[in-house]
Structure 1
Amino acid sequence: MDRLNRTWPQTFVLTGFGAPGPVRPLAFLATLGVYVLTLASNSFIIVLVQADAGLSTPMYFFLGVLSFLEVWYVSATVPTLLLTWLRGRPPIPAAGCFLQLYAVHSLGMTECSLLAVMALDRHLAICRPLHYPALMSRKAQLGLAGAAWVAGFSAALVPAGLTAALPFCRKQVAHYFCDLAPLMRLACVDTAWHARVHGAVIGMINTCNFVLILGLYGGVLRAVLKLPSAASRAKAFSTCTSHVTVVALFFGSAFVVYVGLPGSQAEGTDKCIALVYTLLTPFLNPIIYTLRNKEVKRAVRRVIQQIRAILKGP
């Protein structure tokens, strides 16, 4: 305990965004609105996948898992963002700061792995349609989803543990949540070695999953181009476009912030880009997956009809 007192300040201070006073209430309300809508829309998908038998396929199982993850992911950062809009520069206990750091990275790397699992599901459905039910059994679905969570929460121990072990001379975190780059700038020692380790671990998770996704979709593209009719090709592509859009949003912003050496970005840049994967992507995911999805729209109508029938009674 004495060692922790010597190396950690009792609290860190989140500086957030340097917005003028009159803008803060509007920013708070806008952020709160997006947060509530994100929680509601992702929770709706979870309930819909569980309630409607027509969505009991592997694709929608993984979509439900992704929505569950997004509820926690957005909740790991947005509350402190709201506090920065509301209170200016809120303090956060040191232990809470490192817990947030671990939560953000464990959930983020879990999402990387889960997106790769979802690409594998689409690859098997299109390239191995006859063997797909056996290959993607319920046991396989649970195993793949569980492996994604274990991989993410295990890998995040490295950057979170190494950062928590640093001695800190300052306590103002130039971010709206506790992240690697802004925390490392506060250290009393040279963090070049830590940055290389962080970049290697996070870069390996991001790069391996991204390369796997590219390879799987390369196989999907070859298989789709061999289909005899334009209608069948369009139908096959339509099951992948939503996932590809989410992959581009999430991996694009994550690569910019983390695959380069953490701490190498200019102050202010990383927190702006972080808004994409911590707030915008969880908000857009339900919209992207449901806007052009006829099966989800039909499921919504079926659930509404069931609710109406229950309310009307016998």
Structure 2
Amino acid sequence: MSDTTDQTPTPVQDTEDGQGALARALAEAAELRAELEETNRGVVALYAELDAQAEQLRRATELKSRFLAYMSHEFRTPINSIRSISRLLAEHTDGTLTPEQARQVGFIQSSSAEFADMVDDLLDLAKVEAGRVEISPAWFELVDLFQALRGMFKPVLDNPEVILVFEEPEGLPRLYTDDHKLSQILRNFISNALKFTARGEVRVSVRREGDEAVVFSVADTGIGIAPEFHSAVFDDYSQVNSPVQKRLRGTGLGLSLSKHLAILLGGSVSLQSALGEGSVFSVRLPLRTDSPEA
């Protein structure tokens, strides 16, 4: 008769096994706790670094805005002097000019006017980035806005091969928004369209979109913009890389400023264009701004 060994765990063995498992669990917990604390320290350090970078970015943006505002103001005095002197020369205040002299004075006038527009765009962009642009909404008729724009551009239409058309805004309600900011957006769109349209027309129109918004569009028959440039056309200092763009001066601020102003008015800007087929720049705005005075 063979002997058999009883392999049933004794109470002492159960206690030892339990203590070993508990010790392993405690060791794993301690290791996990150490890893978690290390991770937390890393997260805290990362947040501190991000806060420092955000503060540096804020200060850099503030300094840039101050610089742009200061330089814009400083540029105004010499620009106004140049424009005043060239106007006196063009009016023959100090004597008659020869045809060549008159042509050169005209060039000075157009260049100084363009320079003044650039300075205005720089100053406005600096104000927008600094959050110092105030919106003053009021009720107004669209027909009055179009009449004002028509009168504003009539003196500068010097290309007989391009016509500027304003479609009558019939059947549209009054708007409650900042008409000066809206006019500035449309002026930038129209000026840009006239600059890049050698022949044909620039057409300004407005339509209602649903019950809450209107869309203003400026369509031209100009050189158009290739699709790869559409996403960047409203960025600061962005210019389309084309022979015509290189020949014509500009800061690339007008469209960027228009985008910022549209956002301040609760709207958005968009572009439809194809190279060689013209462009349509649009701004969509609510019929009424989100204002307690509306």
Q: Which has the larger radius of gyration?
A: 2
Larger helix fraction of residues: 1
More contact order relative to length (CA 8 Å, sep ≥ 6): 1
TM-score of the two chains, using structure 1 as the length reference: 0.32
Larger strand fraction of residues: 2
